[in-house]
Structure 1
Amino acid sequence: MNINLQSLFNSLWPLNRSLTGDGNRETLRILSEVIPLKIYEIPCGTKCFDWEIPSEWNVKEAWIKNSKGEKIIDFSINNLHLLGYSEPIHKIISYDELKKHLYTLPEQPDAIPYRTSYYQKRWGFCMSYTQYLTLSPEEKYEVYIDASHNTAGSMTVAEAEIKGNTNKTIYITTYICHPSMANNELSGPLVICKLFHLIKEKILNPQYTYKFLFMPETIGSIWYLSTHKDEIIKNCLSGIVVTCIGDEAPFTLKKSRIGNGILEKCIEYLLETSHKPYKLYDFFPLGSDERQYCSPGFNLPFCSLTRSMYGQYKEYHTSLDNKDFISFEAMNKSSEFLFQCIQTVEYNATYINTYPYCELQLGKRGLYPTLSAPNARTKTIDAIMWILNYSDGEHDLLWIAQKSKIEFTVIKEATELLLQHKILTCWRN
């Protein structure tokens, strides 16, 4: 299936996403048209470890009018204008009272900041600092927020699965809780939707199961872990949080706390051998949902992959993180890179050399030149020698590729030749 990422982006961009609400439902409904999602509603008030699903928040209208009745801030124009989870209000107030509820970025005067107050009741508006300076201390302002907080509502989450030959699972996760942000929000869902179809269409008999999770950040992953604890501990082979992956910056890999997940090892290897710039971070307990999956009680091998990492680009959590900041070509390349990583995971395995005593006579099998000559040895022959020596049940193909500095594609080709001649047997995946 050919997914038009730009068209999908345009459909999702106007929606007011948050931890809960109709914007999230509509987001998942639209995504379900391109990926077979199972959508679940989790009742508000549901306990999950030390947390609780908050009330469902929906907004009909929100604005500020000046004394002439002119709307100077309007949620319908940009939903970043409203503080997330604002309480309803309709009141005429002074400038001094209003400015207590306004959020700006003086250091980025033309940007609207993104601010939320999920777990503390308050109301507020966000505006550019340039616009803030036009407010008059002499005026009265009418503020109006038509918002509801429904304790009988729910949090909407979704999951898609590609079933493999084993229950060993690779979890690919992203979030759906930010309004009007392109790289920090929509790049993740778009990239993994494309990745879903690449795996589905090109890996016809997958060894592993793949689960794609779309949930609000933090509370979504905490809920998932609280309800799938035994399953994920038993079946998780590796996992990844995909976010901030839609611009043209080099890739950034943040490793898991445990640091040895097969997916992160494949990503690091492919980044290293790409001969392109990239950034690598060891785990730190800040950031996105990886901090939940890597919490000490779980300590799962969950890494994260970004381009411009959250918090490290000036457009982050502002209205400048918009369509102009991202690249749909870069998003397609992000999906293709992740697919290359998945292919490497699928093929990687540990083998046993069935002829372990001394070197095998490869010439009589057509695997080695029978006439000695300069440059007669190829990369494939070198790969065969490395594979045979380290196929001892202890070293997988990825380790051999890294140690030998031979491309994994050549290691794969050599492995297939050795399997055809029954020189190797698979020890474990």
Structure 2
Amino acid sequence: SQNNLHVVSYSIPVNKEVSYEELCEHIHTDDQSPDAIPYITSYYKETWGFCLARNTFDSLPRRGTYKVFIDSTLEDGSMTYGDLVLPGDTEQEILLSTYICHPSMANNELSGPLVTAFLYRAIAAIPKRRYSYRFVFGPETIGAIAYLATHGESMLQRVLGGYVVHCIGNDAPFTYKRSRQGNSMTDRITEYVFERRGYSPDQIIEFFPGGSDERQYCSPGFDLPIGSVMRSMYRTYPEYHTSLDDKSFISFAAMAKSVELYLELVGVFEANRRFKNRNPYCEPQLGSRGLYSIVGAIEKPLHVKAILWVLNQADGSNDLLQISERSGIDFDVISEASRRLEEKELLEALDSPPLLASQHKPIDIIQT
């Protein structure tokens, strides 16, 4: 075969002569892309087949017999996945999960592990991380299910947010698919960053129980706050699951921008905290602490407005992102205001709120 996609993945071995009519029952084409070889699998049904470009199939003689030969074996084996946790100041985790199972797919396969690997290198270089970061590489679907079977209970207690990283390698506009929860910290942070970057609201879509491994992480027993930031999303581009999803479809420049976006999301996760005002009964004297000009002005500077908003909203229930959204002041300005107030001992930093997922009771994870 000239292309490893020509054989249906997990085909049973076959060595026989067949008629054109019988051959047609085992041929797969993509009629929408006549020059593309489709990617077809048969994991759970024992059968055999070939994948051809439609134009190639149409050129086959329709008379005579064909010799079909697939030299394959089906036997018990093992499944490999990899994970690594970068420790932070807390055991609460951000999950970054990607899959390693689609042969010869560039955007649908290679882009996810590449972007995730560069994210690992960048996050590992952060000198002081608040959160721990869990990186997971495994086969799609069955890999996530197996991983949750062995790590799901601890993830329920630790995972604060995260993403399935895939379909992220070309220069198409970014798309965010919400978590099942719909208003998790992952959703709020991603939607804020998208809005700050000027992205269209149409680039944010609701959760649906299909797609990639988010449907495992977001299954109702786990309901982890996992979303997915993509570029050309699965099933939305003609090259998807075909030989046309090759290296020419992706670029390192596009993936570098994808890494930058994910790092911006990580930055907001790291900085988004809850605080409690140590002096909640009226405003403290800010001028003597160097936080307020001793000379009055008609219009307060933005950093002073941010300080006043943080002091007023820091009752232990609001995080900085909520204060930013309510005040209309950029998150980074609000975050800097909280830093200065904490430095002056006017704020007390609180732990992150209890994880919604941690309220679940222990469950039997894997069922046949």
Q: Counterpart of 1:400 in structure 2: which amino acid?
A: I
Q: Who is 2:208 aligned against?
A: 284
Corresponding residue to 2:52 among 127, 131, 142: 127
Q: Counterpart of 1:291 in structure 2: which amino acid?
A: R
Question: Partners of 2:48 and 2:116 in 1: how far apart?
Answer: 34
Conservation of the 8 A alpha-carbon contact between 1:263 and 1:342: no
Corresponding residue to 2:167 among 244, 269, 274: 244
Q: Who is 1:99 aligned against?
A: 24
The alignment partner of 2:249 has SS state of coil
Within a 5 Å distance, the mapping from 1:261-300 to structure 2 comes to 261-277=184-200, 279-300=203-224
Deviation of the 1:229 alpha carbon: 2.7
Question: Partners of 1:106 and 1:236 in 2: how far apart?
Answer: 43
Deviation of the 1:166 alpha carbon: 2.0
The alignment partner of 2:80 has SS state of strand
Question: Partners of 1:211 and 1:296 in 2: how far apart?
Answer: 21
Q: Who is 2:250 aligned against?
A: 326
Question: Partners of 2:182 and 2:121 in 1: how far apart?
Answer: 28
Where has structure 1 moved over 6 Å in runs of 4 or more? none
Give yes or no for the alignment of 1:179 onto 2:115.
no
Q: Who is 1:210 aligned against?
A: 133
Where does the alignment leave 5 or more consecutive residues of structure 1 unmatched? 1-73
Where does the alignment leave 5 or more consecutive residues of structure 2 unmatched? 353-368
Instruction: Show CA shifts across 1:174-207 (max 9, x none).
Output: 1111011111111110001000011001x22212
Question: Partners of 1:250 and 1:390 in 2: how far apart?
Answer: 35
Q: Who is 2:35 aligned against?
A: 110
Give yes or no for the alignment of 1:85 onto 2:3.
no
The alignment partner of 2:349 has SS state of strand
Corresponding residue to 1:347 among 256, 271, 277: 271
The alignment partner of 1:154 has SS state of coil
Within a 5 Å distance, the mapping from 1:390-401 to structure 2 comes to 390-401=313-324
Deviation of the 1:136 alpha carbon: 0.4
Bigger shift: residues 87-96 or 332-341: 87-96
Within a 5 Å distance, the mapping from 1:190-201 to structure 2 comes to 190-201=114-125
Deviation of the 1:260 alpha carbon: 3.3
Q: Who is 1:317 aligned against?
A: 241
Give the structure-1-normalised TM-score.
0.79
Deviation of the 1:154 alpha carbon: 0.7
Deviation of the 1:374 alpha carbon: 4.5
Question: Partners of 2:32 and 2:145 in 1: how far apart?
Answer: 34
Conservation of the 8 A alpha-carbon contact between 1:111 and 1:318: yes
Q: Counterpart of 1:174 in structure 2: which amino acid?
A: T
The alignment partner of 1:155 has SS state of coil
Question: Partners of 2:297 and 2:226 in 1: how far apart?
Answer: 49
Question: Partners of 2:263 and 2:153 in 1: how far apart?
Answer: 28
Q: Counterpart of 2:265 in structure 1: which amino acid?
A: C
Deviation of the 1:398 alpha carbon: 1.0
Deviation of the 1:361 alpha carbon: 2.1
Q: Counterpart of 2:95 in structure 1: which amino acid?
A: Y
Deviation of the 1:389 alpha carbon: 0.5
Q: Who is 1:221 aligned against?
A: 144
- Percent of pairs with identical residues: 48
Deviation of the 1:216 alpha carbon: 0.6
Question: Partners of 2:61 and 2:111 in 1: how far apart?
Answer: 39
Question: Partners of 1:175 and 1:358 in 2: how far apart?
Answer: 53
Conservation of the 8 A alpha-carbon contact between 1:218 and 1:288: yes
Question: Partners of 2:171 and 2:180 in 1: how far apart?
Answer: 27
Deviation of the 1:239 alpha carbon: 2.5
Instruction: Show CA shifts across 1:299-351 (max 9, x none).
Output: 11111111111111121111111112112111111112111111211111100
Q: Who is 1:32 aligned against?
A: none
Deviation of the 1:268 alpha carbon: 1.3
Q: Counterpart of 2:110 in structure 1: which amino acid?
A: L
Conservation of the 8 A alpha-carbon contact between 2:101 and 2:139: yes
Conservation of the 8 A alpha-carbon contact between 1:351 and 1:427: yes
Deviation of the 1:171 alpha carbon: 1.3
Bigger shift: residues 112-121 or 84-93: 84-93
Question: Partners of 2:176 and 2:62 in 1: how far apart?
Answer: 48
Question: Partners of 2:230 and 2:38 in 1: how far apart?
Answer: 21
Bigger shift: residues 263-272 or 110-119: 263-272
Conservation of the 8 A alpha-carbon contact between 2:9 and 2:41: yes
Q: Who is 1:36 aligned against?
A: none
Bigger shift: residues 114-123 or 299-308: 299-308
Give yes or no for the alignment of 1:379 onto 2:305.
no
Report how many aligned residue pairs link the two structures: 351
CA RMSD of aligned residues (A): 1.4
Conservation of the 8 A alpha-carbon contact between 2:32 and 2:238: no
Instruction: Show CA shifts across 1:196-253 (max 9, x none).
Output: 011001x222121111101111101111112223211121211311111111111111
Q: Counterpart of 2:232 in structure 1: which amino acid?
A: S
Conservation of the 8 A alpha-carbon contact between 1:250 and 1:277: no
Give yes or no for the alignment of 1:369 onto 2:298.
no
Q: Counterpart of 1:100 in structure 2: which amino acid?
A: E
Higher percent of residues as strand: 1
Q: Counterpart of 2:226 in structure 1: which amino acid?
A: F
The alignment partner of 1:160 has SS state of strand
Q: Who is 1:18 aligned against?
A: none
Give yes or no for the alignment of 1:230 onto 2:153.
yes
